[in-house]
Chains A and B, each alone.
Chain A
Amino acid sequence: MQLIPCPWCGPRDDAEFHYGAEAHVARPAVPSERSDAEWEAYLYLRRNTKGPFAERWLHTNGCRRWFNVIRDTYTHEIFASYKPGEPMPDIDQLTAKKDA
């Protein structure tokens, strides 16, 4: 039961959230220009990172807003959370700061 930091509501129990998989997978602007392989990749292919990972969460039983989290998929450490549209923080920098 992780403690997920919602950028609008603050830290909340993960029972309030839904997981939204990899973040920063933008829907192609002009889908008709995408090849079959590119569309398949957009629909189905996601990174399966073991370690720090940018992923989406939805505060379903709260503010119902989507946001992004940098979270280690193995240790469940959470390094940052930020609103959609905001740039992805530098993961190496985030995790390095912690080790130092």
Chain B
Amino acid sequence: MSRQPNRLPSGGRIDRAMPLGFRFDGRSYTGYAGDTLASALLANDVHLVGRSFKYHRPRGILGLGAEEPNALIQLARGNRSEPNLRATQVELFDGLDADSQNRWPCLKYDVGAVNSALHRLFPAGFYYKTFMWPASLWMTYEEVIRNAAGLGKAPEGPDPDRYEHMHAHPDVLIVGAGPAGLAAALAAGRTGARVILADEQAEFGGSLLSDDDVFINGKSGRDWVAEVVAELASMPAVTLLPRTCVHGYFDHNYLLAAERVTDHIGAVVPNTPRQRLWKIRARQVVLATGTLERPLVFRDNDRPGVMLSTAARGYAVRYGVAAGRRPLVVTGHDDGYRTALAYAARGIQLAGIVDLRPDPSGALVDAAREKGIDILAGHSVAGTHGGHRVEGVDVAEMNADGTGLAKITRRIDCDLVAMCGGFNPTVHLFSQSRGKLRWDADMNAFVPAKVHDTTHAPQRSVGGCAGVMSVAQSIKDGIKEGLEAARATGSTARQPAAPAVEEPGIGAHRTIWVLPSDKPVGHKGKHFVDFQNDVTAADLNLAAREGYRSIEHVKRYTTTGMGTDQGKTSNVNALAIVAATLGTDIPAVGTTTFRPPYTPTTIGAYGGRNIGALFDPVRTTAVDSWHRANGAQFEHVGQWMRPWYYPKAGETMRQAVDRECLAARNAVGILDASTLGKIDVRGKDAAEFLNRVYSNAWMKLGIGKCRYGLMLNDAGFVMDDGVTTRLADDHFHMTTTTGGAAGVLGHLEEHLQTEWPDLEVYLTSVTEQWSVASICGAKCRDLLAALCDDIDLSNEAFPFMAMKEGTVAGIPARVYRISFTGELSFEINVPRRYGMALWEVLMAAGEKHGITPYGTEAMHVLRAERGFIIVGQETDGSVTPIDLGMDWIVSKQKVDFIGKRGLFRPDLMLPDRKQLVGLLTEDPSEVLPEGGQIVEDVKPAPPMTMLGHVTSSYYSVNCGRSIAMALVKGGHARKGDTLSVPLAGKTVKVTVTDPVFFDLEGSRRDG
């Protein structure tokens, strides 16, 4: 247990009865419940918390919350480790273990700091200038840069935590629970409207938690917060979400918020997610996101101990921590005096107040004078001293317009510089929702001007984020807008009275974007603008001098505003500096685009439960457990898991597939074909509909007869194929490819609904209704005959391309005589609940015939032996039936079908289109790789003129050699030619053939 040297003897919203031990960079410290990691580190006098990104300069804590650019830490270890957390937002818990980032080998002695000495080598646009040439070295450069620029480390294993998604549809969403947001929530909540109040911090209250000089209805601001929160908590329609950062504002009032549910506990809580992602569709939105303080840009303004004024105040008031024992305030704004007075009230002697204004006046200034604080009016900070901690500043009086120094500098010793450069309304969410900003010359900041879409995304900004700096006005506006938001959703309640607020009056301020020094900008020191990305005023000047005009280009060239903090403290300063260099005004330069998320958000929160097995549905057939029990290897086909092959002990894949292929022809093969898409087509116009969506003729198909069809799109390209059977005059059973089923149903529905609403046709997906065992091979008729006594299986009674209804092993079945292998084949369809029973009966009865289950790999080989295409393998969306040599299936008689006109486009009728052919390798054991490129003239090295590619390639045990199918330019006219397939290290010679390799007469299909 270490003591906490900077902990004030009293005060702060911390629980002194609850000390917490934690580690930072391996050292042990103590803080209190209610601390953030940042406040606990400062209490322990740890100011040096990181190294800067480019120059590896020592950096300290700058801010109090989300705006923090420097104090990025890596929290926890193992697979729970999380990088780039802002120490200012990490709530302290017992046993917290954090490390600083971006330093090697350790924070105090960092090797990369040599970059700082070499700063002339790192100008704006450094990457672009240095690494453009030679391009071949980029990979080498990149590796070195990535190592040097380490913003934390990602854990290597999967995230062990759980994340949930929540959906909410409130009447009013209020973002931010400072004075304005609390007032809005109270006014809206009292109407009975459904309200969500979300705040990124653990505790509601916003600025009131850090200010001790605001009194509401005669009580301290913090007491008023407690009363309001208690009343809100008692309202059943109000949902309070602390620790919830609304970080994205999308179209039509859809907002995303990440709730940190257990992060602050530092342990896994049973049955509780680590974080929740809230998906909120709000009827009305009230933004009360407050302000972010601007740093001042002066020479070497990045030393640890140089801090935002409100942050310094917040550490003292909210956390009871003296961020310094001899603080110096630098300000052009009355608000800086509040920080000085807060420290003075805690018995800490100020080193002085450097005020940019030549004649500061007002109640706060008078109060500071009364306290005997030295006020240096009209002065500038010319530079700072110190190494790992600021030790002093050089100050001097400025000339009248603040562009230079009027006197020589003198040094003031201090250990904390609290700087106030004014305030920027936090317009991030407003801007994400595409609201227009306007430059407020009085405030020297961008404020909301016009809501993007008042109809679909009604919203209001209140308080600081609307440019309102007084608590009284913020509460007033909060009440008014909160009530009006509720009224817009139907409430008729009356407006409650606004409380009486006492607060310090804030007078006029002075903004100087770059404080003048005794050296020009860029000499003997650095004026940091973007602390996280190490962008200086000199870098911005250089970019402007080099011709960059668009602020979006300046941003990318200098990387200003591109860190994990997205320039929360730097963007407006950068704009102002660029505007000054360009000799234009700030509104003319404009802002860069605000994009979600407002603060970095864990990817796990977005993933929620949609990870692992729940990422995408897995579809399995009724026979799945049998396949698994019998050693099947699976492959994904669309969302389906299909058996790929069934290896026996000791078998290679090739041996298993060869065995399955032999059995499927010579004995009995059995395939689980349940995954094929099945669509029930019904209605009086069903035949006419099929006639329009397939390329062949359908009107005269007899009942109980099957027909193969190719489905084209209107461009003329093949999109799917399958066998459709007529069950009745007005009723068809269509099958599609396994992967194409949903697309086909969509294509058919689209045409029915939008082109042919006059057709009476109803489509129903019945894929899951049927379990299909496809049996084939020389003995399959014998097998089926033994199990089926109500269907005559002879060729005469049950010819090829016919369907019979009957029973198989007592199970009601539709049996189709269709074949994808070219063998005699029966596809037995039974209701899914009988699928396993049928399979087991077939396996048992087939044993004596040598029944062999085969998977998709054998199926592919068997169909390729017969030259049958697979849509998506032989076709790629640019292949016509003519290219496939399937002219026979394209009706010449039909006036129209989908794709007919497309086939007559001139490019589709060219003779040298890529056409489907077979390929036989010179060496029969050589199996070409699928995708292999085919050339006529082999050259020693690419490029060569490519004629096409191999689409399917297998070793066929039935053919006793390898076989392949390919798309080759003008292939139909090249049969007999010898072409080449150049591969790594060799070239394979191939002969172009017909794409049929086995049973050329097609005699086996009848058994």
Contact residues of A with B, CB < 8 Å?
Answer: 1-3, 13-14, 20, 26-28, 30-32, 34, 36, 39-40, 42-43, 56, 58, 60, 64-66, 75-78, 84-85, 98
Residues of A within 8 A of B755 (CB): 26-27
Interchain Cβ contacts within 8 Å, total number: 71
Supply 24 A–B pairs (Cβ within 8 Å), ascending by A. Answer: A3-B251, A3-B252, A3-B254, A20-B750, A26-B755, A30-B895, A31-B900, A31-B901, A32-B895, A32-B904, A34-B901, A39-B902, A39-B905, A40-B905, A42-B714, A43-B715, A64-B749, A75-B434, A76-B251, A76-B456, A77-B455, A84-B753, A84-B757, A85-B757
B714, A3: Cβ atoms under 8 Å? no
Cα–Cα distance between A12 and B200 once the two chains are bound (Å): 28
B250, A36: Cβ atoms under 8 Å? no
Say which size band chain B's interface belongs to: 20 to 34
Cα–Cα distance between A31 and B713 once the two chains are bound (Å): 13
Residues of A within 8 A of B750 (CB): 20, 58, 66
Residues facing A in B846-883 (CB within 8 A) are none
A75, B753: Cβ atoms under 8 Å? no
Cα–Cα distance between A56 and B906 once the two chains are bound (Å): 30
Say which residue of B254, B281, B901 sits within 8 Å of A32 (CB atoms). B901
A39, B749: Cβ atoms under 8 Å? no
Residues of B within 8 A of A76 (CB): 251-252, 453, 456
Cα–Cα distance between A32 and B905 once the two chains are bound (Å): 11
Write the chain A residue with the least CB distance to B906. A36
Contact residues of B with A, CB < 8 Å?
Answer: 250-254, 281, 434, 452-453, 455-456, 714-715, 746, 749-750, 753-755, 757, 895-896, 900-902, 904-906
Distance in Å: Cβ of A87 to nearest Cβ of chain B: 14
Cα–Cα distance between A32 and B895 once the two chains are bound (Å): 8
A13, B281: Cβ atoms under 8 Å? yes
Write the chain A residue with the least CB distance to B713. A43
Write the chain B residue with the least CB distance to A40. B905
Given A36-B905, A58-B750, A66-B754: A27 in contact with B251 (beta carbons within 8 A): no
A3, B250: Cβ atoms under 8 Å? no
A43, B455: Cβ atoms under 8 Å? no
A56, B754: Cβ atoms under 8 Å? yes
B896, A32: Cβ atoms under 8 Å? yes
Say which residue of B452, B746, B905 sits within 8 Å of A75 (CB atoms). B452
Distance in Å: Cβ of B255 to nearest Cβ of chain A: 9
A77, B456: Cβ atoms under 8 Å? yes
Given A31-B900, A84-B753, A84-B754: A98 in contact with B251 (beta carbons within 8 A): no
Residues of A within 8 A of B254 (CB): 1-3, 13
Residues of A within 8 A of B250 (CB): 1
Distance in Å: Cβ of B767 to nearest Cβ of chain A: 15
Residues of B within 8 A of A14 (CB): 251
Write the chain B residue with the least CB distance to A18. B746
Write the chain B residue with the least CB distance to A75. B453
Residues of B within 8 A of A27 (CB): 714, 755
Residues of B within 8 A of A78 (CB): 456
Write the chain B residue with the least CB distance to A60. B746
Residues of A within 8 A of B753 (CB): 65-66, 84
Residues of A within 8 A of B453 (CB): 75-77
Residues of B within 8 A of A40 (CB): 905
Residues of B within 8 A of A30 (CB): 895-896
Cα–Cα distance between A32 and B896 once the two chains are bound (Å): 8
Write the chain A residue with the least CB distance to B452. A75
| Closest 10 A/B residue pairs (Cβ) | A31-B901, A1-B254, A3-B252, A2-B251, A1-B250, A66-B753, A76-B251, A27-B755, A84-B754, A2-B252
A31, B896: Cβ atoms under 8 Å? yes
Distance in Å: Cβ of B564 to nearest Cβ of chain A: 24
Cα–Cα distance between A3 and B251 once the two chains are bound (Å): 8
Cα–Cα distance between A58 and B753 once the two chains are bound (Å): 11
Distance in Å: Cβ of B433 to nearest Cβ of chain A: 11
Distance in Å: Cβ of B99 to nearest Cβ of chain A: 37
B714, A43: Cβ atoms under 8 Å? yes
B902, A3: Cβ atoms under 8 Å? no
Write the chain B residue with the least CB distance to A26. B755
Residues of A within 8 A of B896 (CB): 30-32
Cα–Cα distance between A14 and B162 once the two chains are bound (Å): 26
Residues of B within 8 A of A85 (CB): 757
Residues of A within 8 A of B452 (CB): 75
Residues of B within 8 A of A65 (CB): 753
Most B C-beta atoms less than 10 A away, residue of A13, A58, A60, A77:
A77
Most A C-beta atoms less than 10 A away, residue of B434, B757, B901:
B901
Cα–Cα distance between A75 and B435 once the two chains are bound (Å): 11
Write the chain B residue with the least CB distance to A20. B750
Cα–Cα distance between A28 and B757 once the two chains are bound (Å): 15
Cα–Cα distance between A73 and B252 once the two chains are bound (Å): 14
Write the chain A residue with the least CB distance to B756. A27
Most B C-beta atoms less than 10 A away, residue of A30, A42, A43, A98:
A43
B456, A39: Cβ atoms under 8 Å? no
